Amino acid sequence: MAKVEFVLPDVGEGLEEGEIVSWLVAPGDTVARDQPLVEVQTDKALVELPSPVAGQIVSLAFAAGDIVKVGQILVVLEDSRSGDPAPHSPPPATSLATDPPSASASPGGAPAARPKAAPAVRKLALDRGVDLATITGSGPGGRILATDVEAAAAPAPATGVPDHGIGAVRNAGSAAGPSGEIGWMEPGRHPLRGIRRVTAEAMARSWSEIPHLTTLDEIDAAGLLAARRRLADAGIDTTIGALLVAAVARGLRRYPVFNASLEGTSEDSGGTIVVHPDCNIGLAVATADGLVVPVIRQADRRPLADLAAEVRRLTTAARNRRVGVAELRGGTFTISNWGAIGGRYATPLIRPPEVGIMGFGAIEQRPFVIDGEVKARPTLPWSLSADHRLIDGDVSTAFSEYVTGLLADPITLLAELLADGTPGAPGS
């Protein structure tokens, strides 16, 4: 039988490396063709890499937590077919947007059903030393939940400083902490892995490379809330988040310099300004493992109902780690909504190579001046960070005034959205 060396393929645009999150097989296992072998965290998403052949696992070249370069050998397999080895071309990676029909080897060589569990639950099981095959899931269809893993986990050691894995960091909504609170971490040393490592690298690059210009203020959101209520009364299901995306998208169309990126900038070269034809807005979504930014493509060209549905779909998929790799690519501007957890002001950091990011706080009753009098009004805080290498204060102010003007008095925005979903000319 021929041996097959399976290398890390480029599963993204310009991918250089990936992190081994967990192995789904072990040396000696018998695998089927296209059976998932390993979960790899790239700078975009968590993906499963399937086996190129049916056969037996000879050796694994890396351990969980290792960083692997594209083209390096991941695993060596023994092809069960006779004759010449198959061409050396790795199969496409499988995004965790759906549950693949995978299997694990049984002692007799016949594949058995792989336990049903989300990627975050698989990582939690790895951290806790729990074999998913020994657990009966309490979720729909027998799916194993985080609470099932915690119940099956052995008690933590009473002494010593633990060395935790990737799943130790948990944000809002996680079941891993004692109360699922934001910012919970166990005492001890924690490797910087997974989405947190990717985020750390991106933010360090943002802070070191981009001179940030940040402005912030708040608007009276009474008109925005009234618009949403009227839409609901008319049978149009939308969210404040969708209206935020719609307003920002029209701001990008009105001021295309914000829908741009900088390439090849250095001391020796002036670089290139790339103004993108499509307004592809990324949504920063908090997950149990860190921020994930799915992208709404052509956000300025979508009818309101379609835009609202896409915001809901991508937000839910990101939180459940079911967003596809392609849905994380190609963003031209980012929106962050820390108001979802009650925040007011922040200074968001730009995601290279983009040149802007706009964030929104929580709508709450606050003092606001109306006709010379201070009154309690529902106000929406906002912050805009711009790349000062390309965008000056006058342009930043014009963009933010335009976007917040649409939100404070959304008649123009709604008229365009409800007409036929087709945007007008820039500056209209």
Residue 178 pLDDT greater than 50, yes or no: no
Q: Specify the pLDDT at position 160.
A: 38
CA–CA dist 344, 330 (Å, integer): 29
Question: 420 pLDDT band (50/70/90 cuts)?
Answer: very low
* Domain boundary residue, one of 56, 80, 114: 114
Q: Specify the pLDDT at position 241.
A: 92
Residue 87 pLDDT greater than 50, yes or no: no
Q: Helices marked H in 78-172 — which ranges?
A: 119-128, 146-152
CA–CA dist 348, 283 (Å, integer): 13
Of the listed ranges 40-54, 128-142, 343-357, the one predicted with least confidence: 128-142
Residue 135 pLDDT greater than 70, yes or no: yes
Mean pLDDT of the chain: 79
Is residue 363 in a domain? yes
Contact in structure between 117 and 140 (CB atoms under 8 Å): no
CA–CA dist 110, 107 (Å, integer): 8
Question: 155 pLDDT band (50/70/90 cuts)?
Answer: very low
Of 178, 155, 185, the closest CA to residue 289 belongs to 185
CA–CA dist 73, 4 (Å, integer): 10
Query: Best-predicted range by mean pLDDT among 117-131, 152-166, 204-218?
Result: 204-218
278 and 415 housed in the same domain: yes
CA–CA dist 240, 246 (Å, integer): 10
Question: 343 pLDDT band (50/70/90 cuts)?
Answer: confident
Q: Specify the pLDDT at position 215.
A: 94
Q: Helices marked H in 260-382 — which ranges?
A: 304-319
CA–CA dist 293, 352 (Å, integer): 13
CATH of the domain at 255: 3.30.559.10
Question: 365 pLDDT band (50/70/90 cuts)?
Answer: very high
Q: Among all chains, which residue has been given the structure tokens 């990126």?
A: 261
* Domain boundary residue, one of 114, 135, 165: 114
Question: 49-67: b or e for each residue (b if 16 or more CB lie within 10 Å)?
Answer: bbbbbbbbbeebbbebbee
Is residue 89 in a domain? yes
Q: SS3 of 373, please?
A: strand
Is residue 368 in a domain? yes
Q: Specify the pLDDT at position 332.
A: 96
215 and 345 housed in the same domain: yes
Domain coverage including residue 98: 3-114
CA torsion sign for 296, 47, 292, 387 is negative
For residue 48, what are the β-bridge partners?
39, 94
110 and 215 housed in the same domain: no
Q: Specify the pLDDT at position 377.
A: 95
Q: How far apart are the first and last CA of the chain?
A: 68
Q: Specify the pLDDT at position 122.
A: 65
Kind plus residue range of the DSSP H or E element containing 414 = helix 411-419
Q: Specify the pLDDT at position 203.
A: 85
Contact in structure between 93 and 325 (CB atoms under 8 Å): yes
Q: Between these two residues, 11 and 306, which has the higher pLDDT value?
A: 306
* Number of structural domains the chain divides into: 2
Q: Specify the pLDDT at position 170.
A: 33
Question: What average pLDDT does the segment 301-311 reach?
Answer: 91
Q: SS3 of 366, please?
A: strand
Q: Specify the pLDDT at position 424.
A: 39
CA–CA dist 360, 403 (Å, integer): 12
Contact in structure between 102 and 114 (CB atoms under 8 Å): yes
pLDDT digits (tens, 9 = 90+) for 29-79: 999 888 889 988 876 667 888 898 899 999 999 988 888 888 899 999 998
Kind plus residue range of the DSSP H or E element containing 406 = helix 393-408
Is residue 388 in a domain? yes
Q: DSSP string spanning 182-212?
A: TTB--SSB----HHHHHHHHHHHHHHHH--E
- pTM across the whole model: 0.65
If you compute the radius of gyration of the chain from its CA atoms, what whole number of angstroms results?
24
Is residue 129 in a domain? no
Contact in structure between 72 and 61 (CB atoms under 8 Å): yes
Which pair of structure tokens corresponds to residue 69?
């370069």
217 and 339 housed in the same domain: yes
Q: What are the catalytic residues?
A: 388
pLDDT cut 70: percent of the chain above it? 75
Question: What average pLDDT does the segment 10-22 reach?
Answer: 74
CA–CA dist 35, 105 (Å, integer): 10
Is residue 70 in a domain? yes
Of the listed ranges 5-14, 124-133, 242-251, 406-415, the one predicted with least confidence: 124-133
CATH of the domain at 22: 2.40.50.100
Is residue 190 in a domain? no
Contact in structure between 379 and 221 (CB atoms under 8 Å): yes
Residue 397 pLDDT greater than 80, yes or no: yes
pLDDT cut 90: percent of the chain above it? 40
Residue 144 pLDDT greater than 70, yes or no: yes
Q: Specify the pLDDT at position 83.
A: 52
pLDDT digits (tens, 9 = 90+) for 326-337: 888 899 999 998
Of 281, 273, 308, the closest CA to residue 387 belongs to 273
